[in-house]
Amino acid sequence: MKKLFVLVLFFPLITNAQIKKITLEDIYKKGTFRSEFIQGFNSMKDGNFYFENEEGSIVKKSFETGEKVSTIINKSDVKTQDGKQLSLDDIEWSNDEKKILIFTNRESIYRRSSKAKVYVFDLKSKTTQLIDSDKILHASLSPDATQVAFVKNNNLFIKNLKTNKTTAITTDGKWNKIINGNCDWVYEEEFSFSKAFSWSNDGKYLAYYKFNETKVPEFAFTIFDSLYPTQYSYKYPKAGDANSTISIHIYNTANSKSAKADIGTETDIYIPRIKWMATDNKLCVYWLNRLQNHLKLLSTDANTGKSSVFYEEKNKYYVDITDDMHFFKDGNTFLFSSEKEGMNSLYLGNIKTKTSQQLIKPTSELAEFYGVDEDNGKVFYSLADQVRNRMPYCYDLKSNQQIPLSNKVGTHRLTFNSNFSYYVDYFSTATTPNIISLNQTTAALQNKNYTGKILKDNAKLNNLISNVYQLSTPEFTLLKNATGTELCSWILKPKDFDSSKKYPVLFCNYGGPGSQQVSNSWGSINMWHHYLSQQGYMIVCVDNTGTGFRGEEFKKKTYLELGKHEIQDQIDVAKYLATLPFIDGNRIGHWGWSYGGFMSSLAITKGADIFKAAIAVAPVTNWRYYDNIYTERFMRTPKENAKGYDDNSPINHVDKIKGKYLIIHGTADDNVHFQNSVMMIDEMIKKNVDFESGYYPNKNHGIRGGNTSYHLYKKMTKFILENL
């Protein structure tokens, strides 16, 4: 479609009258709590310097000092041929660092796709070159920066920058029929990528996807933007429906010939990734069956398309697809992640022998893979320590030792330079906004107490939340379900909490497979929850069965019955909290968005005896309405598993509703269709169930833009204040 101790902050003694109250305007209009960040950070190839956007120009800075060395591109030099200055806020560098792609007037399409007017700027000549007169998708410089590949009108093109000639690699592209070099909707959403082509390491080949979506059913929704509203139709395969037929092609730039990859005769499959291997003429094609429980990696010859399997994995549930992959320069060794031994970890594989072995046997799950420094034999990654934290580590391939990069407990998100000698660390906790530091890798490996140069500390924001607004401190804890399973949770109490009083409780929940909300990171507890806390509510978040970073069995226990265990956990915890003397058991509510909206709809139906109010934003109300890649991964098809689909779909339990229910949706939601809410409402009308609803015209799954977020949260706040 995503515990063991309490964190405590010590504040100066000050009366409640001095604490400033958060307003919805602070959050959704003024940007009062907006964090500082580093814009446009890019490592240079030599590993000693990096590029950064500074006041609109691109400057060169030293990793050693963090100081500016020179201005690489002056913003005043970047102009179109007719003299219009171009912004450098959205750029990509060539491998030789002599050219940049400049993206202007981006237009969002779906979650990960957009099109833009694109220019090439030559740093030496200070000239710009327009790639195409129209907006295009996925403009990508070849490794030698002499050509640009891009997608337009469902076809793939290459523009030669020296001759200014554009060559059509494909000509059969047609809307809702054939797509070349770009993903169809369901691949983009569920396999998390949109650009469906890739230059080889030497630029001699261009591998690309061809989607034939002729047999995929169309879905249409209305755009209310004119006197006569228009219909937007696109291919959207719901659970059990036909998918696009996929083929992989490899274009040879030297002879203009294409080879079709041999992916077998079975067509009802997925190709969730293609990646170039260390050998320039070898492409790795990921082959995944429709049930998504059988993965094969194919080594494919770029000239002939012939392929052979070098790795295979089967799972009794499903195989998660990630980008955790590195092919070593020796042409034989590769590194990847897998859950095949019960916990997500890193493995080293051998292409020749078709064997693999676990690299590390962690006590915590792999959270993020950063990359491999082959020259020094080091692998960098982070682990989900205590589930909620993200701690960075290095595995030394020579000594077979795991070495921590920091002992600061919280969430670390690292961005390395080109040779892994430096990295930027975005560190935060649930109570500490991002502290962004520039660090020397060797120093961090030698001293886990080391902290490099602070680039941004968010001191202003930290003062606001600590002293001016004095936000409550979340309590991380473990709450048990009825079977005794401990569930990672946090509780946010009002600042002036008094155990002799009784407080209403609002559960916030997403709860989907592999997701996580109980995270020790800034932003994991949004400012609206702090706002409600200041209004006298306790906010509770519980990562139920099925969520991530606790091992495969915990995550995949929900297989074939989405919603059953998840909502029971929420109900169990709510029942327990209702027994506590400081909680008003008659005022417990639940809210969520997307999968969380599905959970909130179950809370007010299957959990009607404990949850007195619920808000569901953009909810799935019946898994038969949702896309096939996501839904079938966890549920198989409706034909195979009708009971699993029907038993836990909220739409089938509306007659249980006793409390107050607010359902909200964007009418142009391309992801979780407005249909979900319409049909839920239709069923409630049939059963004479009272409800409240809200719809946002022409808004997609995110329901944002202009005054929308403010209006939405104002509406939800009013509902909570009046009904909980």
pLDDT in tens, 10-55: 333 344 447 899 999 999 999 999 999 886 668 899 999 999 899 9
Average pLDDT on 347-376 reads: 95
- Burial (CB count <10 Å: 0-12, 13-18, 19+), residue 36: middle
Give SS3 for 174: strand
List of long-range contacts for 262-266, beta carbons under 8 Å, 24+ apart: 262/298, 262/300, 262/305, 262/306, 262/307, 263/287, 263/298, 263/307
Q: How far apart are CA 508 and CA 596, in angstroms?
A: 8
For tokens 């978040």, the residue is 541
Average pLDDT on 192-220 reads: 97
pLDDT reported for residue 13: 38
pLDDT reported for residue 1: 61
The helix or strand, by DSSP H or E, that contains position 603, with its residue range, turns out to be helix 595-605
Q: Burial letters for 167-191: b for 16+ Cβ neighbours within 10 Å, e otherwise? A: eebbeebeeeebbbbbbbbbbbbbb
Q: Which of 343, 254, 270 is nearest to 303 (CA)?
A: 254
Q: How far is the first Cα of the chain from the last one, in angstroms, to the nearest whole number?
A: 29
Give the β-pairing of 475-480 and 453-456.
unpaired
Q: How far apart are CA 590 and CA 563, in angstroms?
A: 15
pLDDT reported for residue 363: 87
The helix or strand, by DSSP H or E, that contains position 199, with its residue range, turns out to be strand 197-199
pLDDT at 394 over 70: yes
pLDDT reported for residue 168: 98
Q: Burial letters for 438-469: b for 16+ Cβ neighbours within 10 Å, e otherwise? A: bbbbeebeeeeebbbeebbebeebbebbbeeb
Assigned token pair, 576: 């327990």
Assigned token pair, 99: 């050219």
Q: How far apart are CA 530 and CA 469, in angstroms?
A: 10
Q: How far apart are CA 714 and CA 399, in angstroms?
A: 57
CB 1 within 8 A of CB 189: yes
| pTM exceeds 0.85, yes or no | yes
Average pLDDT on 524-541 reads: 98
Residues in a beta bridge with 378:
373, 396
Give SS3 for 531: helix
Query: What rounded mean pLDDT belongs to the chain?
Result: 95
Q: Report how far apart, in Å, the C-alpha atoms of 579 and of each of 60, 97, 504 are.
A: 60, 64, 13
pLDDT band at 200 (very low <50, low <70, confident <90, very high): very high
pLDDT band at 559 (very low <50, low <70, confident <90, very high): very high
Name which residue leads in pLDDT, 669 or 82: 669
pLDDT reported for residue 676: 98
State percent of the chain over pLDDT 70.
97
Give SS3 for 494: coil
CB 650 within 8 A of CB 619: yes
Average pLDDT on 283-288 reads: 98
Give SS3 for 643: helix
Average pLDDT on 166-186 reads: 98
Task: Give residue-wise pLDDT tens across range 428-453.
Answer: 999 999 999 999 999 999 998 998 99
Cβ contacts of 538 within 8 Å, gap of 6 or more: 491, 492, 493, 494, 503, 504, 505, 506, 583
CB 245 within 8 A of CB 269: no
Average pLDDT on 581-603 reads: 98
pLDDT at 4 over 60: no
State percent of the chain over pLDDT 90.
93
List of long-range contacts for 150-155, beta carbons under 8 Å, 24+ apart: 150/118, 151/180, 151/181, 151/182, 151/197, 154/178, 154/179, 154/180, 154/182, 155/180, 155/181
pLDDT reported for residue 39: 67
Task: Give residue-wise pLDDT tens across range 405-427.
Answer: 999 999 999 999 999 999 999 99
Q: How far apart are CA 594 and CA 351, in angstroms?
A: 41
Q: Let me know how long the chain is.
A: 724
Which stretches of 193-268 are DSSP H helices? none
Q: How far apart are CA 580 and CA 540, in angstroms?
A: 14
pLDDT reported for residue 38: 80
- Burial (CB count <10 Å: 0-12, 13-18, 19+), residue 316: exposed
Assigned token pair, 175: 């809307």
Assigned token pair, 656: 């249980």
CB 475 within 8 A of CB 493: yes
Q: Which of 613, 699, 691, 703 is nearest to 651 (CA)?
A: 691
Q: How far apart are CA 157 and CA 167, in angstroms?
A: 6
Assigned token pair, 158: 């290459």
pLDDT reported for residue 77: 95
pLDDT reported for residue 40: 61
pLDDT at 5 over 80: no
The backbone torsions φ and ψ at residue 346, rounded to the nearest 5 degrees and listed phi first, read -100, 145
Cβ contacts of 319 within 8 Å, gap of 6 or more: 288, 292, 293, 294, 295, 313, 339
CB 456 within 8 A of CB 436: yes
Name which residue leads in pLDDT, 135 or 5: 135
In one letter, which amino acid is 536? Answer: G
Q: Report how far apart, in Å, the C-alpha atoms of 722 and of each of 25, 578, 613, 660, 688 are.
A: 20, 20, 10, 10, 22
For tokens 């896309």, the residue is 627
Residues in a beta bridge with 234:
219
Beta strands in 315-459 (DSSP E): 325-327, 333-338, 345-350, 355-358, 366-373, 378-383, 391-396, 401-404, 411-416, 422-429, 432-440, 453-456
Q: How far apart are CA 535 and CA 21, in angstroms?
A: 9
